[in-house]
Amino acid sequence: MSTVAKAISLLDMLGRGAPETALADLARSAGFDKATTRRLLVSLIAQGLVEQDDATRLYRLGAGLTRLALMRETQFPFLRMAVPVVEALAAETGETVHLSEYSKRGLISVHVVESAKANRVSVPLGEVLPMHATASGIAFLAFTDERIREAVLAAPMPAFTRFTIGDANTLAEHVAAARASGHSTGTQGFEEGVISVAAPILGADGFAIGAIAVAAPRVRIQKGDIDRFGGSVIAAGREIGERLFGRLPGRKRA
């Protein structure tokens, strides 16, 4: 693992655990010795990406990450364009709606509006959504570049529940169905008791850059709800794409 990859892994751990973490806990979780972990943290602190509390000596994510996020959002205003659509869809459906964006690390949840209902689905920000096990992943695969799709089909498919898709042929069938309908349905593939309906968000080249999904407890969802959510997520994904890129001639449509 390169030095950069090690540093990024520490940022990832700081973002996923408690708000503040001790050096020993970070080193143990990362599998690094304390000296290596401390050296990486010192470099990250120098760049403002990590902060250390003077009193407790615990480490937390730094404000420099916010600066980088704002710079990125200025160049590519994905959240600014998408958040109003996510909020409108959540209000329409009354269920949890989550937005994901693709990066080399995978499909990552970047904005979530949770249902106000007591029995609701929670989706952590920053969670990597498995392509083979989520409605968002399958919707993305249905409209992504063939090289990305083939790489996922050839990769291992770990089981998260007893309902998780576990082989390339079955996944390919689900992807083809999503391609034909414009949306996908995930039934307990990532978490038991949860049903999700998702559609892709298309970029200027017609390929998916992310997905938008409605997620709800299985006990509350009827077939009519799935059909209704399907139409809603297609419309929402299309609106986000058009907010970002406009109506482009010849663009592939979800």
Where is the domain boundary, 11, 37, 67? 67
CATH number of the domain where residue 37 is located: 1.10.10.10
Flag whether 251 is in a domain: no
Query: How many domains is the chain partitioned into structurally?
Result: 2
- State which residues form the domain around 230: 76-245
Continuous H helices in 100-216: 135-142, 146-154, 168-181
Task: Specify whether 80 is located in the same domain as 154.
Answer: yes
pLDDT at 248: 59
Task: Specify whether 83 is located in the same domain as 107.
Answer: yes
Question: Sheet holding 194-202: strands in order across?
Answer: 128-129, 106-113, 96-103, 208-217, 194-202, 184-187
Task: Specify whether 28 is located in the same domain as 81.
Answer: no
* 3-class SS shares of the chain: helix, strand, coil, % to 5: 45, 20, 35
Q: At residue 20, what is the residue type?
A: E
CATH number of the domain where residue 186 is located: 3.30.450.40
Q: Residue written as tokens 């143990």?
A: 28
Task: Specify whether 59 is located in the same domain as 92.
Answer: no
pLDDT at 253: 44
Task: Specify whether 51 is located in the same domain as 86.
Answer: no
Flag whether 99 is in a domain: yes
Tally helices (H) and strands (E) across the chain.
Answer: 9, 8
Task: Specify whether 126 is located in the same domain as 207.
Answer: yes
Flag whether 38 is in a domain: yes
Task: Specify whether 41 is located in the same domain as 87.
Answer: no
Query: Diameter of the chain by CA atoms?
Result: 59
Flag whether 252 is in a domain: no
Task: Specify whether 172 is located in the same domain as 232.
Answer: yes
Where is the domain boundary, 21, 42, 67? 67
* Integer Cα distance of 74 and 86 in angstroms: 19
Task: Specify whether 88 is located in the same domain as 190.
Answer: yes
Task: Specify whether 206 is located in the same domain as 146.
Answer: yes
In this structure, what are the phi and psi dihedrals at residue 59, rounded to the nearest 5 degrees?
Answer: -105, 145
Task: Specify whether 80 is located in the same domain as 63.
Answer: no
Flag whether 250 is in a domain: no
Task: Specify whether 148 is located in the same domain as 193.
Answer: yes
Distance of CA 187 to the CA centre of its chain: 17
Where is the domain boundary, 67, 90, 108? 67
Q: What is the pLDDT along the chain (254 residues), one digit of tens a residue?
A: 899 999 999 998 998 878 899 999 999 999 999 999 999 999 999 999 999 999 999 999 999 998 888 888 888 899 999 999 999 999 999 999 999 999 888 899 999 999 999 999 999 998 999 999 999 999 999 999 999 999 999 999 999 999 999 999 999 999 999 999 999 999 999 999 999 999 999 999 999 999 999 999 999 998 899 999 999 999 999 999 999 998 755 544 44
pLDDT at 17: 75
Flag whether 17 is in a domain: yes
Flag whether 253 is in a domain: no
Flag whether 196 is in a domain: yes
* Integer Cα distance of 68 and 223 in angstroms: 43
